Amino acid sequence: MDRGRDGQTVRRRAIRREAGEAVIELAGRSVGYLLKRSSARRTLALRVTDSGGVQVNAPLALSHGHIEAFLLRHAGWLTEQLARRAVAHTWQSGVELPYLGGVLRLEIHEGSAGQVLDREGDCLNCTAEPALAVMAWYRRQALELLGSRLAALCRGQGRIEPPWRVSNARTRWGSLSPKGEVGLSWRLVKASPAEIDYVICHELAHFRRRDHSAAFWREVERLCPGYASARARLRENGHRYLEF
């Protein structure tokens, strides 16, 4: 307690604090975070620690729904920050890189920095500082492989192949623009062929239904029978595909 200017005793309101752990689903990845509440806070704050931990500071009485909405609005930034911290420890010989549902082993050799030399079986040979070169290699594979699968699925469904592009998206595997252009994340080539086909069919289904109603999911099932298992695998493995 303190005394005010008039000599009256002033009782300071005690600051209440609470802390606990929570989990949210972002882009098919379960992200755990430390939620710290305080009666002294008036705004939300989000940070990622050097070790890759996620911390949210929130007002004491703010609803969990408001906190989740805040995290979803910042999903792109958050997944990028988590990926950067994961990548910092990734680029060394022997590390396994996901590709088409399997893995490639990275081998780093002497040479001009940032070059992919070749692929030999399950081994990807690169020079020093390979991060950007490896991601460029993935993008090239995406342009060829995703385009090939989109064309094949459209032929099988008797439909005209829509315009499409390779995207750098982290918060969604695929998208459909208002003008009918399909976007597919280059990171999708890390997934299995079944997961890739599911994402493509998901976007093709949006040509008929722009929502995620029961009718939409029936259309996905028609285009990709048994899609549920591929969708479940993508949700389970998605965090691995987003590491870089």
Q: Please say whether the structural domain 96-241 has been given the CATH code 3.40.109.10.
A: no
Report the percentage of the chain scoring pLDDT > 70. Answer: 86
53 — pLDDT class (breaks 50, 70, 90) = confident
User: Cα separation of 242 and 152, whole Å?
Assistant: 26
For residues 164-181, average pLDDT: 89
Domain locations in the chain as residue ranges: 17-87, 96-241
Range of weakest confidence among 55-59, 60-64, 107-111, 172-176: 107-111
Q: Does 39 or 82 have the greater pLDDT score?
A: 39
Q: What is the pLDDT of residue 158?
A: 95
Whole-number average pLDDT of the chain: 86
**Is it the case that residue 19 has pLDDT exceeding 50?**
yes
For residues 175-199, average pLDDT: 96
Report the percentage of the chain scoring pLDDT > 90. Answer: 52
Q: What is the pLDDT of residue 7?
A: 54
Residue 32 tokens, joined: 């755990």
Q: What is the pLDDT of residue 77?
A: 87
In 3D space, the residue among 26, 45, 43, 42 whose CA is nearest the CA of residue 34 turns out to be: 45
Q: What is the pLDDT of residues 157-170, one digit of tens each?
A: 999 999 999 998 87
Question: Which amino acid is residue 145, in one-letter code?
Answer: L
User: Cα separation of 210 and 178, whole Å?
Assistant: 10
**Is it the case that residue 10 has pLDDT exceeding 50?**
no
Environment class of 201 (CB within 10 Å of its CB; exposed 0-12, middle 13-18, buried 19+)? buried
Residue with tokens 């030399």: 117
Contact 141, 190 (CB under 8 A): no
Q: What is the pLDDT of residues 85-141, one digit of tens each?
A: 665 556 788 989 999 999 999 998 877 666 676 788 899 988 867 877 888 899 999
What is the rounded radius of gyration, in angstroms, for the C-alpha atoms of the chain?
23
User: Cα separation of 176 and 244, whole Å?
Assistant: 23
**Is it the case that residue 146 has pLDDT exceeding 90?**
yes
User: Cα separation of 42 and 58, whole Å?
Assistant: 7
Q: What is the pLDDT of residue 118?
A: 79
**Is it the case that residue 75 has pLDDT exceeding 60?**
yes
User: Cα separation of 49 and 10, whole Å?
Assistant: 39
